[in-house]
Amino acid sequence: MKSFTLPMVALLASVLPTSWAQTHTACNPLNTTGCPNMEALGGNATFYWNKTGILTGGKIWEKQNQGTIDWSEDAKGATFTIERSGDSPMVQSKFYMLFGRFEVIMKAAKGKGIVSSAILQSEALDEVDWEFLGTNTTHVLTNYFGKGNTTSFDRGKEYGMAPPQDEFHNYTIDWTKDRIQWWLDGKMLRELVPADALNGKNYPQTPMNIRMGVWAGGDVANNDPGVVEWAGGETDFKEGPFTMAVQTIYAKDYTQGAEYSWEDMDSSGSWEKVKVINPTSKSEILKEIQDPSGIRNNWKALSAGAKSGIIIGALAVLGILVCLLIFCCIKQRRAGKREHAALLAGEQKEAAELQEYKKQMQGGKFGFGSHTNRV
Ligand SMILES: *[C@@H]1O[C@H](CO)[C@@H](O)[C@H](O)[C@H]1NC(C)=O
Ligand SMILES: *[C@@H]1O[C@H](CO)[C@@H](O)[C@H](O)[C@H]1NC(C)=O
Ligand SMILES: *[C@@H]1O[C@H](CO)[C@@H](O)[C@H](O)[C@H]1NC(C)=O
Ligand SMILES: *[C@@H]1O[C@H](CO)[C@@H](O)[C@H](O)[C@H]1NC(C)=O
Ligand SMILES: *[C@@H]1O[C@H](CO)[C@@H](O)[C@H](O)[C@H]1NC(C)=O
Ligand SMILES: *[C@@H]1O[C@H](CO)[C@@H](O)[C@H](O)[C@H]1NC(C)=O
């Protein structure tokens, strides 16, 4: 327990130079004014990373850091891979939840010093965690932080389980203002109530987003010896690549609204000071999830069969149009030719008639004409 509970935020705040720097907040609303509003989820959604891979054009999830995030049929999900020193691929949701539920079906990465994590975190540095060490095949760590307070007493707790690196498991966090529950495969492992978190002061209660990532705590080039030890020892990158896989994520925001704002926040950091913008409307993110914008996204979402159906249909319509056009042209040209021929025939007829007329006049067939001619 002692060595396993070194808090992530402590690493972020002080030790880790680059890899997890982004989990450090860009704007801490407790000591900064004008921190930007956060997009709310304001509803529920399932993300099938086993089917579609991951990043929906960056509109819902954002990749962070060096390292590969990919998708593979073999891995049955999105893969987060560490290949070399400095890799720590991570994605974070652009949406936030003010109390909510987060379920992830994932498989932790193997490897000495490799840490997989599935966390909720707020810009005020509230945090609720699942963490997995690559070489610990018997335990998972649950942890939480309130307002970035990293003083470690009994926040981190480990639970025995089958090797999290071998199979996919369902890790669920259910978070309300009254309690936080950690569930593993349908079994509740832990419940935290505000009274047990420094009388609520250390209780996570500001809008949090989802962050999934893997990093090398055992990377001696980037980490202090204490971190390397906590992570399970020095990482040998030649033994890599080290891959975490994520199949599906389900998220449900327990608050409805478009955005969350810090404008009424004070030093209490209380959820009651979080302002919900447009509490009756649907958030832009939820609209995007339910009805992805743009033809490109819709097209990408179609099955191969549907795509070829549409292509064949379009080609057929094009074919018909071309045929019609050709048909009309020919008809038009034929009609033109006929008209031209008729015109020509008419002219010839007229010319012939004139000729005949002249002949007749010259032949004195008409008295008057001949008379005149004679004059
Ligand atoms: C895994 O973690 C548990 C809890 O901290 C610890 O008792 C156990 O020794 C660890 N196992 C390994 C292989 O590190
Ligand atoms: C605000 O607090 C955070 C975390 O406690 C700290 O890292 C940061 O330097 C502070 N910023 C200001 C402007 O005081
Ligand atoms: C998710 O939201 C939809 C409406 O968008 C609702 O019909 C459904 O019941 C919700 N599911 C859960 C599990 O909350
Ligand atoms: C993805 O995961 C879901 C939930 O576990 C499952 O129902 C579905 O069949 C999976 N899809 C693929 C393509 O593996
Ligand atoms: C941090 O939490 C510890 C107990 O976990 C508490 O003793 C301490 O006062 C807290 N610090 C702050 C600044 O709230
Ligand atoms: C994961 O476990 C939770 C809690 O037991 C359960 O409610 C949920 O339906 C499970 N989710 C999936 C995707 O299996």
Ligand 4 geometric centre to CA of 278 (Å): 35
Q: Total structural domains in the chain? A: 2
Same domain, 177 and 279: yes
Same domain, 286 and 314: no
Same domain, 162 and 247: yes
Same domain, 126 and 275: yes
Ligand 6 geometric centre to CA of 25 (Å): 30
Of the candidates 216, 75, 222, the residue with the CA atom closest to the CA atom of residue 133: 216
What's the pLDDT tens digit per position in 254-284? 999 999 999 999 999 999 999 999 999 999 9
Q: Does residue 259 sit within a domain? A: yes
Task: Give the residue from 266, 294, 322 where a domain finishes.
Answer: 294
Atom of ligand 6 nearest to the CA of 188: 5
Highest averaged pLDDT of the listed ranges 13-17, 70-74, 117-121, 354-358: 117-121
**Distances, alpha carbon 196 to alpha carbons 16, 189, 202, 206, 273, in Å:** 29, 16, 9, 18, 22
Omega before 29 cis (within 30°)? no
165 pLDDT exceeds 60?
Answer: yes
Look up residue 204 and give its two tokens.
Answer: 């996570």
CA end-to-end span of the chain: 140
More confident residue, 362 or 200: 200
Least confident range from 207-221, 309-323, 329-343, 346-360: namely 346-360
Same domain, 85 and 161: yes
Q: Does residue 22 sit within a domain? A: yes
Helices and strands: H and E segment counts in the chain? 7, 19
Ligand 2 geometric centre to CA of 55 (Å): 31
Same domain, 289 and 354: no
Indicate the residue type of 281.
S
293 pLDDT band (50/70/90 cuts)?
low
Give the pLDDT score at 4: 36
Least confident range from 128-137, 169-178, 356-365: namely 356-365
Same domain, 213 and 312: no
Give the pLDDT score at 315: 76
Task: Give the residue from 271, 294, 317 where a domain finishes.
Answer: 294
- Report the distance separating Cα 219 and Cα 228, nearest Å: 7
More confident residue, 297 or 147: 147
Same domain, 19 and 74: yes
Ligand 2 geometric centre to CA of 266 (Å): 15
Ligand 1 contact via 142 beta carbon (within 6 Å): no
Ligand 4: residues with CB < 6 A are 48, 50-51, 76, 105, 247-248
- pTM check: above 0.85: no
Residue in the structure block whose two tokens are 């070489």 = 135
Ligand 3 contact via 100 beta carbon (within 6 Å): no
Task: Give the residue from 294, 316, 334 where a domain finishes.
Answer: 294
Residue nearest to atom 2 of ligand 6 (CA): 186
Ligand 5 geometric centre to CA of 189 (Å): 25
Give the pLDDT score at 347: 65
Q: Does residue 183 sit within a domain? A: yes
**Domain limits for position 330:** 303-364
Least confident range from 7-11, 12-16, 94-98, 128-132: namely 12-16
Percent of the chain with pLDDT over 90: 63
> Could you say which DSSP state residue 168 is in?
-
Look up residue 81 and give its two tokens.
Answer: 């891979």
Residue nearest to atom 7 of ligand 2 (CA): 13
More confident residue, 319 or 27: 27
Ligand 5 contact via 153 beta carbon (within 6 Å): yes
- The answer to whether 246 and 109 have CB atoms below 8 angstroms apart is no
- Report the distance separating Cα 276 and Cα 37, nearest Å: 10
Ligand 1 contact via 44 beta carbon (within 6 Å): no
5 pLDDT exceeds 60?
Answer: no
Residue nearest to atom 3 of ligand 5 (CA): 151
More confident residue, 294 or 332: 332
Percent of the chain with pLDDT over 70: 73
370 pLDDT band (50/70/90 cuts)?
very low
More confident residue, 136 or 357: 136
Signed CA dihedral, 41, 45, 46, 51: sign only = negative
- Report the distance separating Cα 11 and Cα 115, nearest Å: 12
Same domain, 279 and 355: no
103 pLDDT exceeds 60?
Answer: yes
The 10 Å Cβ neighbour count of residue 257 is 21
Ligand 3 contact via 190 beta carbon (within 6 Å): no
Number of the ligand closest to the Cα of 30: 2
Average pLDDT over residues 67-73: 89
Q: What positions carry a catalytic annotation?
A: 127, 131
Same domain, 317 and 258: no
